[in-house]
Amino acid sequence: MSEKKEVIMYKTWSSEDERQSDFSGNVGEEYGPMEKAQAYGQRQRTSYLDIEQNTSVRTGGTRGLASYNRPFEVINVYTGLMAFGTSTLSVENRAAEHAGVTLYNQPYQYRLDTPRNINLMESYYYTGARQVANYLNEAKYRDSLHLQGAKTLETSIELMTTNSKVSPVIDLERTNATITRNLIDDPQPLDNTFGPATATLTLNDTFTNVTKGQSLLFTDNEANRSVVVEDYNEVTKKIKVKGKFANKLNTLTQLGDVDLADIGLADVVVQDFAEEFIPETRSNGSIYSKWISRLFLFENFCDGVEIKLSCIFYANESIKVYFRPKTVGFDFEVSETPWIPFNETGLANGIESIKPRSADNVDPNVIKSGEWKTLTWSVQDLAKFDGLQLKIVMTSENPAQAPLIDDLQMVCTE
């Protein structure tokens, strides 16, 4: 699965005068001549077309460039430092908010975060998504509501001494910030990134005025929507449609086509997921973060299994477990069989009564032993099996709140 990034696509300009006119005033004084030349794309002569992250666009041209941001949740500032007994120093880091892969924080993206006191050469864990933005995006969001003309990442080091003859020293050539992100997401079945949703409409009577590719208008809460007819069957009185708003259709929907509106809808079945979304019951699900075990083989036939995990989690739905047994006498590859979720949802036994850990501080170094929870998944009375494979799936809207898993215990019963 490719990394999701916020990008800005570019197209070629027709003239240098047009380029200079469009870019006039877009970059502030803090950008020097070299940065301006680079930002304006002297050789490429490009202007930008906005595309939000997790969306797509069709465009053309002979040249394409992309600027992307560096999201992170952990920062570690390394430097060369000489400090003495009379020296003290204070380090403060100020980052900028990021929308996150799931866009959970989209309303606050590019807004300046509160400065945080950090220690040099120690990891600092943010409780939400932060970013180091591309300089073009910094120029775009430099207004008073967002970056206020500042950079998306700024580290301030204050050096102090009680002896005027001895000063602490910072080696700027050896100063770098290492940023780390969690590769975790929480895709939903009807997210726009997985293509249009589909629905099957069953009408009350036969129809004759429908064609494939036709745009079908309808009204949803007084808003005008449209879907595209993908297929239809006049005998069964069914029309299959797809589109961004197909999941808004129901039997009370007012269709824009007069003839179809007069016939009326008898039933509407909306597909549970978009056409490119892959559920985790299949071999290659759409969720990014997962652990898949090898196939465990047993000497004796079994009909039940119990799984225990020692976990830190910040949401009850963030850890799901699936299994697929190798049924006795089954001669095919287990990889060809679907995954089976424990408890039909993949969630642990009695998860609704277990309180997640507080997300006020997600630094794993401060987690206490008593905060680890033991979660249990179990199933009995299965068809006899002599092999079993496990899959642990982890999700989180906020990447800083990724779950942690320590110990795993599996017990199979005969």
**Sites in the chain below the pLDDT cut of 70:** 1-65, 222
State the DSSP string of 278-346.
Answer: --TTSSS-S-S-EEE---EEEEEEESEEEEEEEEE-SSTTSEEEEEEEEETT--S-GGGSPPEEGGGTS
Q: How far apart are CA 288 and CA 103, in angstroms?
A: 16
Buried b (16+ CB within 10 A) or exposed e, 280-307: beeeebbbbbeeeeeeeeeeeebbebbb
Angstrom distances, CA of residue 249 to CA of 15, 172, 188, 219, 379 = 47, 60, 19, 9, 37
Q: Where are the beta strands (DSSP E) in 112-196?
A: 116-117, 124-132, 154-161, 169-180
Which positions ≥6 away from 297 have C-beta within 8 Å? 326, 386, 387
What is the structure's pLDDT at 60?
Answer: 59
Quick check: 101 and 159 in contact, CB under 8 A? no
Q: Which two tokens stand for residue 271?
A: 């597909």
Q: How far apart are CA 255 and CA 321, in angstroms?
A: 42
Which positions ≥6 away from 401 have C-beta within 8 Å? 127, 314, 315, 318, 359, 362
The string of pLDDT tens digits covering residues 356-399 is 999 999 999 999 999 999 999 999 999 999 999 999 999 999 99
Give all domains of the chain, ordered by start, each with its CATH number: 7-67 (no CATH), 72-180 (no CATH), 192-270 (2.60.40), 290-413 (2.60.120)
In the chain, the N- to C-terminal Cα span, in Å, equals: 39
Phi and psi at 134, nearest 5°, equal -60, 150
Quick check: 376 and 307 in contact, CB under 8 A? yes
- What is the identity of the amino acid at 274? A
**265 pairs with which residues across the strands?**
203
The pTM score is: 0.75
What is the structure's pLDDT at 6?
Answer: 39
Q: How far apart are CA 270 and CA 248, in angstroms?
A: 9
What is the structure's pLDDT at 153?
Answer: 95
Q: How far apart are CA 89 and CA 356, in angstroms?
A: 37
Quick check: 394 and 290 in contact, CB under 8 A? yes
Strands 169-180 and 197-203: unpaired
Q: Tell which residue, 362, 360, 359, 343, has the closest CA to residue 351.
A: 343
Specify the 3-state DSSP secondary structure of 414.
coil
Q: Which two tokens stand for residue 113?
A: 């975060």
